[in-house]
Every structure is written in structure tokens, then in C-alpha cells.
Amino acid sequence: MMDAKWEYGEAVRLIRNVRNDGTYPGLDPGAPLVRRGSIGYVVDVGTFLQDQVIYSVNFLDEGKIVGCREEELIGADDPWTPSKFEFREKVRATKQLSVGGEVLVDIGSRGEVIKVIRHGEDGVAYHIHFDSLPGRLLLIPEGILEADTAKEEAV
């Protein structure tokens, strides 16, 4: 078998949200299973397509055993920076954003998280796609974003 980074009983942390790929019973495909940052314990190590190590990880707090690829895990004691928002979450700008005097984003503008940047120079930041700025991504510090709690408008 391929070299496994972790062995039975070792504590690991999930660094990506895991959704049901259709193999987890009782939940719809695409349903969230375990949120990134969660810690679990390796209960089995196997392979998929003979070239990927797959760890069965028991996330005790969630009451779920989930198959995880090696790149989705770090050691439980490795450095980890939690983030306020996750990929695809809707957010709003709490400040007006401008570059060279040109206003790009008004206060309250809606956007979507495209990527979480955990280890930025000034802490957690995000690549955000704002509805008002089609086709452009902006790198936005966590402190000037808030959750967009408005429901999607019916079309």
C-alpha cells in the first residue's frame, strides 16, 4: 500500500468542508457533512483507484465517520487559523472600497466568497466576487465583511 501520513488513532484536522459525495447514507448528495477545522481520529486507512490514500476519520463531535483524502487533512496540532466565512458564503461589505479614488464597492454591496486566504500578512482575508463588479475578484480582509443574511430574491 502507498505511504500513509497518518495511522490508526491519530488526531487530524479537516482543512476543507466535506460534503456528501453520494456515499454517505441518509443524507442527500451535496449535503454538508463536516465543517473545516473539525478534529477527528483516523479509524482506517485505505486507497482509492490505487493512487490516493483515503482515511476514514471519526469526527466524534459530529457523530460521523467520513472518508477524507490526505490533502484535506493536517495534524490536529498543526497551526490552524479559523475563518469567519467559508467558500460560497454570501457576504456584504461594511465599508466602501475604492482604488485610486474610484469607488469599486459601496457599503452593503453583496458578494460571494470564492477563496479563503488563511495565512495573509494581516490575518484572514478572502477573494470576493461582488455582484456589483462582474468578472472581478477583490482580496478583502475579514474585518470589513459581514454575513449577508438576506434571503435570495425570487426571480
CATH number of domain containing 112? 2.30.30
Q: Identify the domain boundary among 75, 98, 122.
A: 75
Q: In the chain, what percentage of residues exceed pLDDT 70?
A: 95
Same domain (yes/no): 112, 136 = yes
Q: Where among 49, 75, 101 does a domain terminate?
A: 75
Q: Which amino acid is at 109?
A: S
94 and 137 share one domain: yes
User: Counting beta carbons within 10 angstroms of the beta carbon of residue 111, is it exposed (0 to 12), middle (13 to 18) or buried (19 or more)?
Assistant: buried
Predicted confidence at residue 2, as pLDDT, reads 60
**For residue 127, what are the domain limits?**
90-147
Q: Is residue 80 situated within a structural domain?
A: no
- Nearest-Å Rg of the Cα atoms of the chain is 19
| Residue 152 forms part of a structural domain | no
Buried b (16+ CB within 10 A) or exposed e, 68-107: bebebbbeeeeeeeebebeeebebbbeeebeeeeeebbee
Predicted TM-score (pTM) of the model is 0.61
Tally the domains of the chain: 2
Mean pLDDT of the chain: 85
Position 1 pLDDT exceeds 70: no
Per-residue model confidence (pLDDT) at position 53 = 82
Q: How far is residue 110's CA from residue 132's CA, in Å, rounded to a whole number?
A: 8
**pLDDT tens digits for 40-86?**
999 988 777 777 788 999 999 889 999 888 888 989 988 887 888 87
Residues 6+ away with beta carbon under 8 Å from 80: 13, 15, 37, 74
- Do 97 and 45 lie in one domain? The reply is no
Asked if residue 36 belongs to a domain, the reply is: yes
